[in-house]
Structure formats: C-alpha cells, structure tokens
A and B are shown apart, each in its own frame.
Chain A
C-alpha cells in the first residue's frame, strides 16, 4: 500500500517514516481503518496498473484513424466513442493514463524535493539565508508560469520532458514557502527548543524534529499538486506547448476536445471523468494519509 507514496525529501528513503516513534506497522494499523482512504488508494493502484499494462489491453491502436466513424458516440465497439479522427477514445484514455500520471508524479516530485529543501533551510537558519531563499522564491513566483513555460520550451524544444520541467518549477516556490511557514512555527515549539538546549546538531534537528512536522503539509500539497500538475499540463497543451500530437495525454485530449463541447460532448466527457476521478482519488488519499501519518494524532 505504501508504493504510491513518493519520498518527500532527497534523503527520505522510506515512505512510512512519520517520526521516531511510529513504525510502518503503526501507520498501516491506523490507515486501513479509513475506508475512503483505502478505496482511493486502491483506485490509484488501479491507475498504476493501467499505466503499466494500458497499451497492451487497449482494444484499438491509439493513433489509428477511421474517417468513416468520426465523432461517433459511445457504443459496444467504442465504449467511449470516437474522436475527430475516428480514433477510439477508450484506447486513448488507457494509453494516456501512463503519460498523465508520469507528468503528474515526476513534475511534482521534482518541485517538492527542491522546494522542501529550500523551505527547511530558509525557515530554520533564518537571517540572510532566509532572505536570499525567499527572494529567490519571489522571483520564481513573479515569473509568470506561462512565460516560464514558453521560455523553457523555446530553449529546450517542445515535448513532454520539457513540460515536466516547466511544471516542476511552478512547484518549487510553493513547497518552499509552505515548508518554511511550518518550520518557523516548529522552531518556536517546545520540543525543538529542548533539542537545541540539549545540544543536538542543526542537521539532526531539522531532519528529526522539524522535517517530520512539515511532512503532513508536504503530503497534503504533494497529492493535490499531482492533479494540479496534470491540469497545468493541460493548459500548456491548450497553448500548444504540451505533449506533441498524437500523444494521448489527458489534458491534451480535453483541450483539443473543447471545440466539441456542445456538439459531441463525449469527446471531452470521458477523458474528463478519467481526469476528475484520478485527481479526486489523489486528493482524498492525501487527506487520509495525513491523518494516519501525523505522529501527533492518536486514536
């Protein structure tokens, strides 16, 4: 069950390391009671399975056109209908699962790793380090995302990999600021002060006392960003900067399909449902995970 949870820091080896006193078993004991959490976890597992085997179970090749059956509605032959080229939408959704999940996971992961690192350092050390990092974040923020994306893609060239880089950069300052906010509060809290008095090293204090305290925020935001990342990729597709055709990335399917919103709604409804359910699952899963992971919450 722990596989969908990505490590939230470069040095964090295991997913279920919420704190000194909570081993993985304790986490699992609490988590399995949460029905919605388990259900959304299972759904994510299903998504991961589809991501792996999707291309081989798709009933049609995802790029195969059929000009005699353009924009056909749902039927037995085509469970989700066909698109503007007569391609099978169901097959494209299956193949697209891998692409959309990959964009979501990898871009958020990159952003979270860098952002968390910066946030911890900034909040803990304060002074000029804090100023420097926070101003750096301000600059990143002030660079409008669209402009940054155009810049990156113009310099590196179009394609999915560069979309991931562009989307991950959106996330760095967000994670940094949130983690810093938590770090500030934790630094003032009783047990960190105690640790400082005892004479623990800074690295150890950050790692053992502050980082676990920020974890719930990171997880909540991590799961939510996955959905946002997929949506951001879709708005890049909308600007022609996303996945290159005929890649069936869900966001691209949605933005290309919006022209048919009031004539052949199935073109956007099915990819939309896939996207909607996936994002919802990640969000709910994140919530429940947080409840179970937080060392301060006891039952």
Chain B
C-alpha cells in the first residue's frame, strides 16, 4: 500500500520523462498573447465529430493531456456549444449527422468560428463520392479555417488555431 500522505510529499510528476518541447512552448506563448486580441481572456472550444475515424478526436483530446496541457495557454474545451467561441469539426459530414451538426452550430452564440480539422473535414477526403457523406464541413457550415492532416498532430491543430486568431484579429 502507498501511504496516502506520500502523495502530497512527493512531486506529482514522479517519472523522468523529459517532455519540455521548445516549439510547443513558443507556440503556446504566442497563442496566449493572441487570444485577447479576438476573444477577451480565453478561448472556449467545442469539439464536434461529424463522421471522423476517431483518430482526430484522439489528437484533439491529446491537447488536454500533460504533454500539451493547453489550458495553461488559455484554451479550454467546453461541454456545450452554448459556451463555445470555436467549433472544431472532425470528419466528412455524414448524412446521419448532418442535422445534429446544424443544431450544434445554431446553439452557439455569435460571433462564432468554425474550424475543419483533418483531411476528411476539409474536403471529404477519402469519402469523396460516397452516398453517405455530404463532403467537407463547408458543405453545411461556413468554415473559417481548415487544418488538413490524416490526422493533424496536436501541434498542427494549435498552429491552425493561432492562424485563425491572427486572421480574425486583422
């Protein structure tokens, strides 16, 4: 048994994985600096899966894990579209999800931004020509930014968000 007190006496990260990533730190610092130009003090994101293969979800949720921990840059993921500034949509929009995608977008307060994440969300990707999808997210929502990739890495997603804010602050 571990003595419960030892949890408080020891540093919380107990292992020696060195995971300081200078590129990420620089990117995060810039995001933190740019957010107030567009969104006040923080950026609230709602993620919406419109028919992805789930790899993009994994990379987006990775942003919240200790390696990336983007909350320290002022970026948070919210549970309701009503609390969101940005909608991250993953996957070609399937016919079965089209209505839910529309309703989620409509529930967001304005001003709002839509970001398509991953090749399939950008233009339909490998599902182009399938009866079951509408195509890219821009077939159903106004898309402000596209982040391609199969799937894009967490850092690529952050770079895309930074680009979106720079574009919006102009």
The judgment on whether A and B are partners is no
